Structure 1
Amino acid sequence: MWLQAVAITLPRVQRHFDVSNQWIGILCSALFTGMTFGSFFWGTYSDSRGRKIPYTMTLLITSFFGILSSFAFSFWSLCVLLFFLGFGVGGNMPTDGALYLEFLPKEYHYLLTFMSVFFSFGAVLASVLGYIILPSTSCPEPSITDPNPACDVATQNIGWRILLFSVAVITMLMLAARSLWLKLPETPKYLLSKDRINETIIVLQDIARINGETVSIDRSDLPNGVQRDKSRLPPTEAAEEEAFLQVPHAEGGEEGLTHPQHRRWSSEYQNGGYNDHEPEDDDAVTDKMLSELYDTRSRNSLAILFSPKWRRTIILVWCIWTFTSVAFTMFNVLLPKYLETLGFEGEAAPTLKDVYWEYMIYSLAGVPGSVMASYMIETRLGRKGTMALSAFGSSLSLMIFSAIESRVTMLLSSSAVSFLATLLYAVIYGYTPEVFDTSVRGTAVGSASGLGRVAGIVSPVISGILLTIRPVLPLYVSVVGFSIVGICILLLPYETRGRPQED
């Protein structure tokens, strides 16, 4: 939502602070720079300290600096405020995605892809607000009788401030909903990977209780692997563990889960629901899982990502995120500016209302992309086929857009780009945390998202420069970018549809 809001206000901010075409892209670059640092910081933080704190803090930071940005007194102060705003926005993807995925059984993993539909709803909401607010609260438009109308930007060009403030208030409402309504505990997978066994048991008990079950756990219920490796715990945690085991807990009634049932359920839950078959030996399975977790504790997450198992995957995923960001940002960020300067022979120049109406249709076209993605990834196409199809389709649509001859053709081709690019992002968003293990998931998603943000930093500036040379040049870069993404997708070694997850 924030990226769309900034893109929509770009021409209005340019007029307000009298910024040239060459440098106006710095505003989006500042936002992407903050998102880059946020992705790396919060992604790594979530792997080392947990998913729960970033779940709330990222929205708090975003809403706070969103409100401040609406009161910016200069172009550079706005850039600084958007940097800190981006620091919060950038942390949402790696932390929220990992937290959501780790509470989902395997058969519901498609919901992570479906969740990206809210990105599209956010873009639509920002576009609707822009359509309602900006035309009547911006500088007067040029006309035949007055090609250069006078404008007092302090009083007449305040629409961009109102829009940024409105989006910040909406973000604050989301923060309130997370804090007061959608209270989520730390994920059992994360707690188990950090040997916090007592907290893991408590969370599993709470989950069972929410689902109308009662779980009884005592010392004899703990797998042998946990008891054997308890010596690896720090002294304070070992003491807490011993004290916890001495406390009696709720006994399961006739409708509660018996000991074997609980152990089987928790084992499948910890594995994301991937195991559809009955384990041959629950203790052996759990011991093996814990052994792998202990072996990776002393290893840095990035070092694990560059091990033979993950090296090819992480490099290709990084390329996919980077070139997708380049291609989409080149087209998306400066589209409102592009639409305002676009004219066709025999057609009247577009008004601001026309421009924001067309941008709203462009945003709306992306909504079914997320919904379609959640269906397509479960077909024979799988994750890889769906991503490749949408990447090459986006490239083709942009080629058509660059050769447009009428505003109708432009609207149809840009809507196709919105639909396919949103579909692509939806699957990338779900595939990236799904393909990696719990111990490196946050770092993998955070670093991939961060590199995408780095590309987002450079793209608006380059796009602005290319726009001054020839308006169609950014479109050509986008065409090449999406083609490279499609090739990288075809080279990915893992298809996660129906693939057992190794957590």
Structure 2
Amino acid sequence: MAPGVGAYHVSLLARCGAGWAADNMWLQGVAIALPHVQRTWRMSDAWVGSLTSSLFAGMMLGAIAWGAYADRHGRLFAYHRTLVVAAVGGSLLSLAPTWVAACVLAGLLGIGIGGSMPIDGTLFIESLPPRHHYWLTALSVFFSLGSVVSALAALALLAGTGASWRILLLTLAGLTAMAAAARLGRFRTYESPAFLVACGREAEADLVLQAMAPDHGTLEDALMEDAEQGRNDSGALFARGQARTTILLWLLWTLQSLAFTLFNALYPLYLERKGGATAPRPQAAVLRDVLAYAVSSVPGSLIGAALVRSAYGRYALAMTLSATGLALLMFLWATRTWHVVAAGMAVSLCATTAYAVLYGQTPRAFPTRVRGTGCAIASAASRAAGIVAPMLGGKAPSE
């Protein structure tokens, strides 16, 4: 291991990565299940997006609430509980008796997973020496794998019967519960040393550093810098020299989420109803195409991580977003089924690369004392866009 990192950090990467995987696993899982849920209650295309919007509403609320709490009381409370809430919400969603109940329970699920990504990312980066902050981009690999897990589960479990979507969601809830149990099990997780120093608890921070990795090297210097920053003050997000960065990041999260969520939520429906065919395509074929879409996102995470560390790091986000735009144009012009699938895979690859870059850059752009709040609001802004996106595309599949 390199100086300042050890087995603890690898273990923390896996446990935080499970939280990121759960986020995308549920987003993809709900999107895949949506046509089946729609048929269960015979919902029109204009209203079917309300389930996804409810999920994103819960995610927005969860991101804000968990993030604000984490900046005032520490990262561990939220870290240990977000996936528990998600597992409970997902289990209840699989048993929903009515459409309205499903929307409410999707909101509860969202509250859990909405806090997982910002809290996990914040805790992880604050536990790393500065020279290893690029490890944060590895979490986006787990994020991509989450959609692969959903697609594989759907391919194995989703049948033509009305109850198959319930089995799928219950399976995803079980996987989320396993991830939550891993956080509460034998592997101890320490409070963020950067948070402890920012609160004036330097002695506790030093003990945590020694427990994480005896040779913590340059991390100590970074923590002393955090101590000089003082305690939590949300006004620091808009301090001179920081305000422009804060606003630009939040705007990027909002617009990127609006575009990708709209595409991601409707893609399975589009494949099922159109995809260049004259009649609805077989479900197995649709699910195989969704799996290809999910798998194509995994290299994007690795490419994004490499770009962040390259000489072109400062231009990486602009480059990847431009590539995503070109891929969307390819999708727009696609007519045959294989054209649609290939263009969809290109969108998945490019968009995931852009997200990996954005995920890696965001936490480092905020001071420690407001990092939880800054990341949480960025996440909440993206979830707010996610609420609107399904409604905007409510009639898209049938037009």
What are the equivalent positions in structure 2 for 1:121-136 lying under 5 Å apart? Answer: 121-134=145-158, 136=159
1:206 corresponds to: 211
SS of residue paired to 1:380: coil
Aligned to 1:191: 196
Alignment equivalent of 1:43, drawn from 59, 64, 67: 67
Map of 1:414 onto structure 2: 344
Structure with higher helix content: 2
TM-score, normalised by the number of residues in structure 2: 0.90
Residues 50 and 186 of structure 1 are in contact (CA less than 8 Å); yes or no, is this contact kept in structure 2?
Answer: yes
CA contact (8 A) 2:265 2:390 kept: yes
Does 1:71 pair with 2:4?
no
Alignment-derived partner of residue 326 in structure 1: 258
Q: Equivalent of 1:357, from 288, 311, 315? A: 288
- The one of 393, 399, 402 equivalent to 2:329 is 399
Question: Which consecutive unaligned segments of at least 5 residues does structure 2 have?
Answer: 1-24
Give the secondary-structure state (helix, strand or coil) at the position aligned to 2:378.
helix
Shift of 1:72: 0.4
Give how far 1:300 is off: 2.9
8 Å Cα contact 1:103-1:272 kept in structure 2 = no
In the TM superposition, residue 207 of structure 1 has moved relative to its aligned partner by 2.7
What is the percentage of aligned positions where both structures have the same residue?
A: 39
> Residue 454 of structure 1 aligns with which residue?
384
Q: After the TM superposition, which residues 174-253 of structure 1 pair with which residues of structure 2 at under 5 Å, given as runs?
A: 174-208=179-213, 211=214
The alignment covers a number of residue pairs equal to 375
Question: Paired residue for 2:320?
Answer: 390
1:84 matched to which residue of 2? Answer: 108
Find the structure with the greater CA-based Rg. 1
RMSD: 1.7
Contact 1:104/1:272 (8 A) holds in 2: no
| Cα distance in 2, alignment partners of residues 330 and 408 from structure 1 | 21
**TM-score, normalised with respect to structure 1:** 0.72
Distance 2:90 2:36 in 1: 17
1-structure distance, mates of 2:89, 2:394: 25
Q: CA deviation at 1:272?
A: 4.8
1:52-63 correspondence runs (5 A): 52-63=76-87
What amino acid is aligned across from residue 412 of structure 1 in structure 2? A
**Deviation at residue 183 of structure 1 after TM alignment:** 2.1
Spell out the pairing of 1:23-42 with structure 2 (5 A cutoff).
Answer: 23-42=47-66
Secondary structure at the aligned position of 2:309 is classed as coil
Q: Does structure 1 residue 377 correspond to structure 2 residue 308? A: yes
2:370 aligned with 1:437: no
Instruction: Indicate conservation of the 8 Å contact 1:376/1:386, yes or no.
Output: yes
Whole-Å separation in 1 of the counterparts to 2:226 and 2:182: 35
Q: Could you say if the C-alpha distance between residues 464 and 63 of structure 1 is closer, same or farther in structure 2, counting changes exceeding 3 Å? A: same
Q: 2:229 aligns with which of 293, 301, 319?
A: 293
Preserved CA contact (<8 Å) 2:266 2:397: no
Shift of 1:37: 0.5
Q: Distance in 1 between matches of 2:211 and 2:307?
A: 34
- One-letter code aligned to 2:139: M
State which of 165, 176, 179 in structure 2 corresponds to 1:160.
165
The 1:95–1:271 alpha-carbon spacing in structure 2 relative to 1, beyond 3 Å, is farther
Could you tell me which amino acid in structure 2 is paired with residue 378 of structure 1?
A: R
Q: What is the distance in 2 between the residues matched to 1:199 and 1:337?
A: 52
Output the CA distance in 2 between the equivalents of 1:271 and 1:352. 56
Specify the code of the residue in structure 2 equivalent to 1:80.
V
Counterpart of 1:222 in structure 2 is: none
Q: How many angstroms apart in 1 are the aligned matches of 2:275 and 2:193?
A: 57
- In structure 2, what is the Cα distance between the partners aligned to 1:337 and 1:438? 42
Match of residue 14, structure 1, among 38, 42, 46 = 38
